[in-house]
Structure 1
């Protein structure tokens, strides 16, 4: 059954996620916590768990509304991480943070078993680049009270940037998100637990990404809150010429534009700068 809130694209939403209820009357910032070895070159002084927790607490201090914990890179061409390795990376971090922090914790994974153990460890949101299409993913989330983010991706992280192709990227991404939303609703997950993510950079060329930003209002018209993740993405580098470490200003511009076009959750690396920029958006809107 399709939602009838399409006539209210700017309706205020309450997002129900685990033990939290977020009132999305302003853009919320999701801070990225990558628990991957290349993110924490610590010279063996601390475990990556300690460093990840320390980084997460710093992001909360900078104003993050949500923390997104990930143990497997989904950047183009990234190597697949084994189930055991991903669990070893993320579960201790989620267990620690769920006891010590007062913001929702999101697990960034497509693996159903990681979802199951992360929820048991205290995760409040499942952020899935495969939109709960893996076997048992939908059942695991349905049996919990966590929120879920359904993302569009063409191909897999290993193949997605080889030759992305669409006849009409906006309508195809929109149709996919509507189809996944309906599949999740049909399983009994209520609308207030669902976010949608167009999947910037996941099987999209520069032109595709720009078209999606330009037409974010069409995706907003589905009637569910949009999560946008453009932080430090290569599309920004292709526009400015900067490498990953030089994309702060471009990322802020993308975050501000996304928020002004109706995105409710902005997923970023640079929390403090984004929080300040979005306070201006909120004041003006």
Structure 2
């Protein structure tokens, strides 16, 4: 069964739930709810990577996430830290995190790979071409799935050279990162090229803009106005894409709504006779 990662954003400005779980107690309670609904891992983030997001210092980031990680780890919950910063990754692993989820694949902080290698944690390598402030200017591709796979292969080699064993690696095609609109669908349709790289594959489509654009078009609306695409509709689309990603070979999917995705995966597995 494909693993489900539950998202816990300990931020004031994440695109769909910013501010809801900024207090540590609220974040922990939310994480435990996601765990009860079927999350295998809780992915804790203290810095938003939404388009146009402002960077925060590692000190601010750590003040947000470390108390949450400590409490969840003490409760026996597998935790991932979603960070671009090597110092935050190291602090999170000391606090009990088992996985470092770096959407930049080691490009944002040159110390990240060494920090992960020393920590012993598993490492998610995301496909990334730049910070959120200007990432869409870098969304130039001829064959997007093949180019994403090629760039991830480079990051895999860099991780290996830094002493991170292949068994510790997970790759993420970076849906929504330096990819606009239909390019995300092209990557998902070409997921077999990502799976063929060898490491476990994590896919995160949850509530992202390209889903809302698709839903708005089906309703006959203008894609520039996405306010009418509710969270519930985005969660349904997320569950469908997560189930299709699982069928295409994804090892895990990263979502806000764990229960809906759990049900979608159960239906697909039943359909496939699993």
| Same fold at TM > 0.5 | yes
The answer to whether residue 229 in structure 2 is matched with residue 243 in structure 1 is: yes
Kept in 1: contact 2:11–2:22 (CA 8 A): no
Q: TM-score, normalised by structure 2?
A: 0.89
Unmatched 5+ residue regions in structure 1?
Answer: 1-25
Separation in 2, partners of 1:40, 1:148: 25
The equivalent residue for 2:7 is 32
Bigger relative contact order, structure 1 or 2 (CA pairs below 8 A, ≥6 apart): 1
Separation in 1, partners of 2:160, 2:174: 20
* Deviations, residues 131-182 of structure 1 (Å, cap 9, x unaligned): 1232211111111221110000122111112462112211111111111111
Q: TM-score, normalised by structure 1?
A: 0.86
Kept in 2: contact 1:234–1:244 (CA 8 A): no
> 1:213 pairs with 161, 174, 188, which one?
188
* Deviations, residues 253-277 of structure 1 (Å, cap 9, x unaligned): 1111111111111000000111111
The answer to whether residue 126 in structure 2 is matched with residue 151 in structure 1 is: yes
The equivalent residue for 2:59 is 84
Choose 233-242 or 154-163, whichever is displaced more: 154-163
Kept in 1: contact 2:44–2:81 (CA 8 A): yes
Aligned residues: 256
Separation in 2, partners of 1:98, 1:172: 37
Following superposition of structure 1 onto structure 2, how do residues 1-285 of structure 1 map, counting pairs within 5 Å? 26-38=1-13, 39=17, 41=19, 48-101=23-76, 103-133=77-107, 134-162=109-137, 164-241=139-216, 243=229, 245=231, 246-283=233-270, 284=272, 285=274
Please give the root-mean-square deviation of Cα atoms over the aligned residues, in Å: 1.6
Separation in 1, partners of 2:83, 2:163: 21
Rate the CA distance shift 1:210–1:121 in 2: closer, same or farther, 3 A: same
Rate the CA distance shift 1:215–1:41 in 2: closer, same or farther, 3 A: closer
Rate the CA distance shift 1:268–1:131 in 2: closer, same or farther, 3 A: same
Separation in 2, partners of 1:79, 1:53: 25
Separation in 2, partners of 1:215, 1:41: 35
Separation in 2, partners of 1:253, 1:264: 16
